[in-house]
Structure 1
């Protein structure tokens, strides 16, 4: 699915949120690799589950053509600095929901980029008959958890000792969801 681009000005920074296009594939491949190396909040370590340019081209093509998928990018001065995806499940019993994921370069935290990617995704879901958005978040990512709660997400469950981080300790994954009547 494609949405209209939106412009934002937050804390002195101008940026645009728009649907991903095929020409974004190279930048997205590089960006994802960089972001994976900047934080332990995501599922992957740097270089794991690498997606190359053709891989991103296929994801963008699928998400553009599919009414239950949405792939957004955040752009600052023609540079992609973050992205989010909503991916639908096409089994009939799960056709009412999508899974949300988001990542933003660390240098661009604090400008509302993740919040606005989420806001645009929630708005899209609400206007396209999607009844539920789900997501997973690391238990120590307090800012993200609070943001999700502000958008109506609630904790649905906890996967105990789900991840091992660089300190060698186990951490829980929190499963959150937002349901629309």
Structure 2
């Protein structure tokens, strides 16, 4: 799905939140690789699960065509600073929910880009009648957990000793969900 551009000014920078387009594919491939090397908060180590520019072109195409998918980017001075995706399912039993994920270059932490991407994604989900947004987050990523809670996400479960990080320690992953406020009792 495609959304309109939204300009945000915060902490001395101006950035745009917009839908990803085909022309973003090469830059998305590069910044995802960079982000994976900047933090252990991602599912992958740098280089694992690499998505080529062609792979991103295909993801963007599918997300643009799908009613239950949204691919957002944050752009600062013509360069991408991060991105977020909501991915839905074509299965009828799962059509009410989407999975959310977000990546932001370390140089742009603290500018509210994560907040703006999440705000746009939750607004979109609510407008599309999506009942549940789900995500997973490493227990040590307290900034992200706090942000998710501000948007109504709650912890649904904990996957114990789920990730082995560079320090040789196993860490847990929180499974979080956000439920649309206007649920009906149609059961």
Place the TM-score, normalised by the shorter chain, in its bin. over 0.9
- Which residue number corresponds to residue 119 of structure 2? 119
- C-alpha displacement of 1:89: 1.4
**Secondary structure of 2:64's partner?**
helix
Equivalence for 2:156: 156
Aligned counterpart, 1:40:
40
TM-superposed CA distance for 1:95, in Å, is: 0.5
Tell me what 2:82 maps to: 82
The SS at the match of 1:126 is helix
Q: What's the C-alpha RMSD, in Å, of the aligned pairs?
A: 0.4
- What secondary structure sits across from 2:54 in the alignment? helix
Number of paired residues?
A: 181
Q: Distance in 1 between matches of 2:89 and 2:115?
A: 24
Using the alignment, how far apart are the partners of 2:25 and 2:137 within structure 1?
25
- Give the TM-score normalised by structure 2: 0.96
Output aligned runs, 1:16-31, within 5 Å.
16-31=16-31
Which portions of structure 1, spanning 4 or more consecutive aligned residues, are displaced by more than 6 angstroms? none
The residue aligned with 1:71 is 71
1:90 CA displacement: 1.4
| TM-fit CA distance, 1:76 | 0.3
| Aligned counterpart, 2:169 | 169
**SS of residue paired to 1:101:** strand
* 2:35 partner SS: helix
Deviations 1:11-64 (A, max 9, x none): 001000000000000000001000000000010000000000110000000000
TM-score (norm 1): 0.99
In the alignment, structure 1 segments of 5+ residues that lack a partner are none
Question: Whole-Å Cα distance in 2 between the matches of residues 45 and 116 of structure 1?
Answer: 26
Q: What SS is found at the alignment partner of 2:63?
A: helix
Check if 1:131 corresponds to 2:131. Answer: yes
2:3 is the counterpart of 1:3: yes
3-state SS of 2:49 partner: coil
